[in-house]
A and B are shown apart, each in its own frame.
Chain A
């Protein structure tokens, strides 16, 4: 424990506490407390109407979720898992491909990287509006292309078989620039001499990638896969804007949001769903870290 050198003999003990008082209290009130209170509210039937009692009911929400409302819960979990796995795999594959292609010097490449990075700085509302127009079943360009190529009509975001895939693609479109940059940072950390040694041994492009680049990128891959998974697990704003959770796109996060802030305003039930989301995140995140770390060591 270091001594604070500021202030007089009398004030120096209190200065550190004064320094953290306001931000610390703010964090307790608007950061930590809401997170912990989710646990408490998940055991209630609190409806959100002002003046109504908490209605503590034990495990009632959990019981309902796993009995009578199990189909809804299972569907939300299934959609979430498909969404997370699909986006993580696609976004990392595309991000890595882009990184290998765009990790070059020169002004034009700086410009291309910026263009690819750009979509994620926009609000989900903006991206949602852009792709609702692109994928509009009556007057969008995607409809025109699909119609002239295959002669079929599709409802796109209004189609139960396509909507989830399309939302995933929009998500990947939005964030693959971020994955690309993390992979480029990883590529730049690989010393040049390793490539020179590989070239001396006469290794071809594919073999260099397989035996040099890929293993040495392991830590970048860990960070990338973990971050994509965690961010996608909690995602629901984009889904809300694009489909409103209809047509088989209701993720667990959106289910929680709509249960709590939809017409029913079941804040207790929503809190329980937030808890399930938390458990899912911890299990998947923890498992993923374990696997990725072991892989890093093995490579």
Chain B
């Protein structure tokens, strides 16, 4: 409607002087509407999605007595003592290191192993490459294997051990699915040329294939890290010794232990959330537009247990 009138207005010969104010009114009307939509979106994003987090963050700056006196108000004496108290009582320093190991090491290993698994299958070096690929994918729909994984871990002495936990999470072969399709997009001629020049297989994967896969590796690497950091079920099942706990497991216990001291719990919650939040702010574009860009990526990257990689990585989701 707007465009219709705007194009018609200059053509009206009787009232040429009316054109300019009319146009201005139209434009300003559209502007007000756009501002209204913008405001509505802001209200939804801030009020519904950010507010709970901000509210809890505010609680962390209260003293315990300040919280009891006015549970829902703003902090009266602002204090950061809950953060230091939570940091000490929750052993979050030690758990932060554990979490970093549990998130980074399997992430890096799965990435590399995933490429080594995906490349020959993607290139069709085996007689039944396609069949193998289909089988890999359908195995994701098998029953969740959390219980047998637990029994297996105890038999192999991987239970309640840092190395054991890393072995299980690094070798469950999660990253591979999206790599196969991606590698198909890398021209085969490169392989032939590199091989003719005497490039070895391992060197070829690391110096030629992996640099070509940067976007896929980055997206998978980020989501893999976040997933590893956030996992609660697997540490709950596999790590009984509290010295081995990651932050998520630690917070879960911390939460039960100090159940009414909300400033302390709020502080602990934000200590646990902070690294992921920083990561999110830094890599926001990658994370958000990465999902919007390729739905096929998202299917395995984000929704926990969505297509269920079955074993250790999903913690027996589907």
Contact = CB atoms under 8 A, between A and B. Distances in A.
Interface of A: 1-7, 15-16, 19-20, 22-27, 29-41, 46, 48, 50, 98, 101-102, 104, 106, 108-126, 128-134, 136, 138-141, 144, 173, 175, 177-178, 181-182, 184-185, 188, 220, 223, 227-228, 230-231, 233-237, 240-241, 256-257, 260-261, 267, 270-271, 274-275, 277-278, 281-282, 285
Given A112-B45, A125-B252, A34 B288 contact: no
Interface in B197-237: 199-201, 204-205, 226, 229-233, 236-237
A114 B136 CA distance: 33
Contacts of A19: 116-117, 119-120, 201, 205
A107 to B, nearest CB: 11
B143 interface: yes
Contact of A15 (B201, B307, B316): B201
Of the candidates A125, A134, A139, A285, the one having the most CB atoms from chain B within 10 angstroms of its own CB is: A125
Of the candidates A29, A33, A141, A175, the one having the most CB atoms from chain B within 10 angstroms of its own CB is: A29
Contacts, number: 336
A1 B262 contact: no
Interface stretch (B10-18, B20-28, B76-84, B166-174): B166-174
Of the candidates B67, B125, B172, B199, the one having the most CB atoms from chain A within 10 angstroms of its own CB is: B125
A3 B156 CA distance: 38
B280 interface: yes
A31 B272 contact: no
A85 to B, nearest CB: 17
B226 A35 contact: no
A2 B199 CA distance: 19
A35 B142 contact: yes
Contacts of A138: 71, 260
A34 B173 CA distance: 13
A89 B260 CA distance: 35
B276 interface: yes
B278 to A, nearest CB: 11
A231 B312 CA distance: 16
Contacts of A257: 146, 233
Interface string B281-301: 000100110011111001100
B271 to A, nearest CB: 10
Given A35-B311, A130-B56, 9 more contacts: A19-B120, A20-B121, A31-B310, A116-B44, A118-B49, A122-B230, A188-B292, A231-B304, A234-B305
Given A38-B145, A234-B318, A124 B255 contact: no
A122 B148 CA distance: 28
Contacts of B318: 230, 233-234, 278, 281
B151 A101 contact: no
B41 interface: yes
Contact of B171 (A20, A23, A120): A23
Contacts of A118: 49-50, 53, 280
B104 interface: no
Given A31-B312, A227-B306, A278 B142 contact: yes
22 contacts: A2-B123, A7-B200, A15-B120, A20-B116, A30-B167, A31-B311, A34-B311, A36-B145, A37-B152, A41-B147, A108-B38, A109-B41, A130-B53, A130-B56, A175-B303, A223-B299, A227-B303, A234-B318, A237-B315, A241-B252, A275-B143, A278-B142
Contacts of B63: none
A101 B148 contact: no
A131 B147 CA distance: 29
Given A34-B148, A125-B251, A144-B72, A29 B171 contact: yes
A22 B126 contact: no
A237 B233 contact: yes
Contacts of B143: 35, 38-39, 274-275, 277-278
A274 B144 contact: yes
Given A20-B120, A108-B42, A181 B292 contact: yes
